[in-house]
Structure 1
Amino acid sequence: MEPMAFDLDELLPTKKVSKPVDLPSLSVGDLQDYIAALEAEIVRVKGAIKDKQEVAAAAAAFFKK
């Protein structure tokens, strides 16, 4: 039995491309809800960035000693 061949590129994570929201079809209320959801996502992403920066700083401090 031959070993299975695979492409190394298949192992790399791919970025998901999201389809833009059709803004003209949304009501004012829906647009406001969409903004609120985006703002919440920005807060979540900033938190993830902060966490990663803290981990990187702690690792740098540990290995600097």
Structure 2
Amino acid sequence: MTFEDLEPRSGRGATLTALSREDLDLYSVEELNERIEALQAEIARARAAIDGKQAKKNAADALFNFRP
């Protein structure tokens, strides 16, 4: 066990908040483009998670919906 294991985890959205507060003037154009690509990949991952959750919800609704 390390000391890192004993530290409290950051709250939900803490990383996103930190990203939004970061000073972008310190980055080059190339680094900013890489950042945009990484953020777009994260958006795609979030959208895929939403699609998966929506599909599960729709399946549950169809299974438990007894109305014609």
Q: Which string of whole-angstrom CA distances, capped at 9 and with x for unpartnered residues, describes residues 1-45 of structure 1?
A: xxxxxxxxxxxxx42412133200000000000000000000000
Alignment-derived partner of residue 49 in structure 2: 48
TM-score normalised to the size of structure 1? 0.73
C-alpha distance in 1, partners of 2:44/2:27?
A: 24
C-alpha distance in 2, partners of 1:57/1:45?
A: 18
The one-letter code matched in structure 1 to 2:35 is Y
TM-score normalised to the size of structure 2? 0.70
Q: Where does structure 1 differ by over 4 angstroms across 4 or more consecutive aligned residues? A: none
C-alpha distance in 2, partners of 1:43/1:16?
A: 17
Q: Which runs of 5+ in 1 are unaligned?
A: 1-13
Whose Rg is larger?
1
Deviation larger for 28-37 or 15-24: 15-24
Q: Which runs of 5+ in 2 are unaligned?
A: 1-10
Alignment-derived partner of residue 58 in structure 2: 57
Count residues in correspondence. 52
Share of identical aligned residues, percent? 38
